Structure 1
Amino acid sequence: MKEPSLREIDTRVFRRNLNGLLDVYIAAMEPPSDQLPGRQTIMHRHSSYPGFKAYVFERRRALGTTIAGFVYGFHGASGQWWHDVVNGELERRGGREHSDRWLADTFEVAELHVHPGFQGQGLGRRLLTTICSERSEQTVVLSTLDLRPDTPARNLYRSVGFTDLLSGFEFPGGGPPYAVMGAPLPLALKQQPSHQNS
C-alpha cells in the first residue's frame, strides 16, 4: 500500500478541501454532530488569520485522493477568540509577564488530526514538526483534550518540548476539559520510537 505523502496547501486549497479535512477531524475526535457546522465556519475563518499555514498527508489512488491527516496554524494575536481566552487565564493565574512570555509572539497550532486508520505511523509527529520548522515566532501553543495525562497526543507534544500551561481548563460555552500546552521554538526534536507517535 502506498505511503501517504506530505504537502503544504495554500488558503484556497485548504478552503476547497474543508469537507475532507472535517472528515478526518470527525473520525479522530468523534465530536457531537451539532458542532460540525460551527467547526467548518471556524476553520474557514482561521484560514484568513495572519501567518496561516497548512499541511496535509494524502494517499493518491486511482479512485481519488484520501486525506490521512492534516495540521494548520497561524500567528496568534489579540482579537482572536482562543488567544484572548487563554491569554486572560494565563494572566489571571501567573501574571502579565507569564502570559506575555507565551503569547506575545506565538504560533498557534489550531488543529492537528490523523485519521485513526493511519495513526501509529509517525504522521502526527511529522505534521507537527514540519509546520513548526519554518516559524519565526518565539513560542508555539495549542490545546488538547485533557481526559488523561498520557494520551498519544499528549505524549507526542511532550516529546518535542511542550509543557502544560493550563490543565483541566474549560473554555467558555462548556465542553470537556482541555490542556493548553506550549513550547519554545524551535522545537526540541528527539528521535522517538514510532509506536509513541500519533
Structure 2
Amino acid sequence: MIQLRRVGPDRFRAVLDTVLEIYTVAMRPPSDQLAGRMAIMRNHSTYPDFDCVLAEDAQAPGGVAAFAYGFHGGRGQWWHDVVRGALQDRAGPVVAEDWFGDALEIAEIHVRPEYQGRGIGRRLIHTLCEGRPERTAVLSTHDAPTVARHLYRDVGFADLMTRFVFPGGYEEYVIAGVRLPLPERAAREG
C-alpha cells in the first residue's frame, strides 16, 4: 500500500541514493549525467521552503516508489533565472512577475515504471501543492505528448512557453504553470 509522506531536507538527503535511482529508471539519462544530477538535487534541498513528498511502499526498492519535490523559487537559482528571463523576453515583465514573482518551483516528479498508471503522480502533485503559500506553481517538462504532460494539463497546468531549449541543451521543453491552490476539479479527482 502506497503511503505519501512529506519530508524535509534532512530526510530527503538521507534517501538521495534511492531518489536518484528512481530518477534514473524513470528518465533513463546518460550515466555520465548522474553525478551532476545528484549534486543538483542535493543543492535544491538547501533552497527556501524545500518540501519533498515520498510515495512509500515496503515492496519498492529502498521503500520508495515515487517522489516529488519543490521549493520557493527566487533570483539566484539557475532554473528560476533562466526561465523567468526567457518568459520576460517572450511575454514581458508583467507576465514574468505574475508567474515567477511568488512561485513554488516543482523541480522533480518521478514514479518508478512499475508503479506508473496508478494515480501516484497526481497524488504527489496535490500533496506537494497543498497548503503552499505561493501564488503559482511552475515546472518544466518535455515538449512532447507524454503521459507527464497530459497529467500536468489535467491537473490544471497551462503552457507558459513551448519549444523552450535550456542553455547548452538541445531538447525542447514546455514551461507550465498553475494558480494555487489547485483547481477544485483537479483536487477532487486526486
With normalisation by structure 2, the TM-score equals: 0.94
Letter in 1 for 2:160: L
Structure 2 residue aligned with 1:109, among 106, 130, 140? 106
In the alignment, does 2:159 pair up with 1:164? yes
Structure 2 residue aligned with 1:86, among 62, 67, 83? 83
Q: Which residues of structure 1 form unaligned runs of 5+?
A: none
Structure 1 residue aligned with 2:115, among 100, 114, 118? 118
Letter in 1 for 2:175: V
CA contact (8 A) 1:159 1:190 kept: no
CA distance in 1, matches of 2:88, 2:8: 34
Q: Percent identity?
A: 48
Tell me which residue corresponds to 1:36.
34
Residue 133 of structure 1, CA deviation: 0.9
Tell me which residue corresponds to 1:134.
131
* Distance change in 2, residues 1:142/1:132 (3 Å): same
CA distance in 1, matches of 2:136, 2:45: 20
Q: How many residues align?
A: 189
Structure 2 residue aligned with 1:98, among 74, 95, 99? 95
Tell me which residue corresponds to 2:141.
144
Residue-by-residue CA offset, 1:162-190 (whole Å, 9 max, x unaligned)? 11111111101114111110011111142
CA distance in 2, matches of 1:187, 1:10: 22
Q: Which moved more, 1:86-95 or 1:168-177?
A: 168-177
Instruction: Provide the secondary structure at the position in 2 that maps to 1:120.
Output: coil
In the alignment, does 2:175 pair up with 1:177? no
Letter in 2 for 1:7: R
Instruction: Provide the secondary structure at the position in 2 that maps to 1:157.
Output: helix
CA contact (8 A) 1:168 1:177 kept: yes
> Which 4+ stretches in 1 moved above 6 angstroms?
none
Tell me which residue corresponds to 1:25.
23
